[in-house]
Amino acid sequence: DAGVTQSPTHLIKTRGQHVTLRCSPISGHKSVSWYQQVLGQGPQFIFQYYEKEERGRGNFPDRFSARQFPNYSSELNVNALLLGDSALYLCASTPGPFYNSPLHFGNGTRLTVT
Amino acid sequence: AQRVTQPEKLLSVFKGAPVELKCNYSYSGSPELFWYVQYSRQRLQLLLRHISRESIKGFTADLNKGETSFHLKKPFAQEEDSAMYYCATHRYTGANSKLTFGKGITLSVRP
């Protein structure tokens, strides 16, 4: 039973660069959410996508964008990277758009911006 | 804006001792509340949610609307309970859905 998979697992970028993180949900799950987790903090909501449409957006600048593909996989893009973007980026999937069913998390992508 | 507060960062207890992990929320409306747990080297996963009114691994959590709290409790802690615990609340407005997490608390159960 493949869980939520994220790639890459680790990434090092320099300030000003662009990064793309990828996520594949559990088979049959149509909703993908993205979270940023800074060391010592809880996950902070970035986006939710359901059926390729944005269903929720957190308080992040426009440098952050995402999309969902017809196979329900998703990409998170971050432009003009800042040192403060260094964090663990988590992807989670659910069958539908609501959180009354459990979020299934991936292992995350550790992004380091130097 | 919805907010989740976990006032403590660390709780250390001996095996067999009672555990209470505190969570307070601020939310206008009917909240949906959850506890998520992350064991060492494992993924973040759902522990329990208030609408289910269930006990998972001996843990329970009661929603207290008067105190706006959703504390997680277990009468007798086990070493395998050592983990990071996050309280979270869900808000759904129209087409916008958002899950907000607290900062988390580390539970350490000593033998």
pLDDT tens-digit map of B62-104? 888 888 999 999 999 999 999 999 999 987 766 667 788 999 9
Question: A5-113 has which fold?
Answer: Immunoglobulin-like (2.60.40)
Q: Name the residue among B32, B51, B102 with its Cβ closest to that of A42.
A: B102
Domain extents in chain B: 3-110
- CA–CA gap between residue B16 and residue B110 (Å, rounded): 9
For residue B13, the model assigns a pLDDT of: 97
pLDDT given at position A33:
94
Distance from the Cα of A36 to chain B's closest Cα (Å) equals 11
State the average pLDDT over residues A49-53: 91
Residue B19 is predicted with a pLDDT of 97
Q: Is A106 on the interface with B (CB under 8 A)?
A: yes
pLDDT tens-digit series, residues A64-105: 999 999 999 999 999 999 999 999 999 999 988 776 678 899
Q: Which residues in chain A have their CB less than 8 angstroms from residue B102's CB? A: 42
Of A7, A4, A31, nearest in space to A19 by CA: A7
Q: Cα separation of A40 and A37, whole Å?
A: 8
Q: Which residue has the tokens 């008067």?
A: B66
Give the whole-angstrom CA distance, residue B107 versus residue B30: 28
User: If you average pLDDT over every residue of chain A, what do you get?
Assistant: 93
Q: Would you tell me which residues 48-107 of chain B have a C-beta closer than 8 angstroms to some C-beta of chain A?
A: 49, 51, 86, 88, 90, 92, 95-104
Q: Is the pLDDT of residue A1 over 60?
A: no
CA nearest to A47 within chain B: B98
Give the percent of chain A with pLDDT over 70.
Answer: 97
Residue B54's alpha-carbon distances to A50, B34, B35, B61, B87, in angstroms, are 28, 12, 12, 8, 16
- Tell me the CATH number of domain B3-110, given options 1.10.3720.10, 3.40.50.2300, 2.60.40.10, 2.60.40.290: 2.60.40.10
Establish if A28 touches chain B: CB-CB under 8 angstroms: no
pLDDT at B70: 94
pLDDT at A91: 97
Residue B32 has pLDDT above 70, yes or no: yes
A71 touches chain B (CB under 8 A): no
Q: What is the mean pLDDT of residues B31-54?
A: 89
Q: pLDDT: is B99 or A25 the higher one?
A: A25
- What pLDDT is recorded for position A28? 92
Question: Which pLDDT score is estimated for A109?
Answer: 97
Q: Does B27 lie at the interface with A, CB-CB under 8 angstroms? A: no
Task: Report pLDDT for B55.
Answer: 83
Nearest to residue A46, comparing CAs of A108, A112, A114? A108
Is A48 part of the contact surface with chain B (CB cutoff 8 Å)? Answer: yes
Between residues A24 and A103, the one the model is more confident about: A24
B104–A100 C-beta distance less than 8 A: no
Q: Do the strands B19-21 and B32-38 form a parallel or antiparallel pair, or are they unpaired? A: unpaired
Percent of chain B residues past pLDDT 90, beyond the cut: 66
Every domain of chain A and the residues it spans: 5-113
Mean pLDDT of chain B: 90
What is the nearest CA distance from A48 to chain B, expressed in angstroms?
7
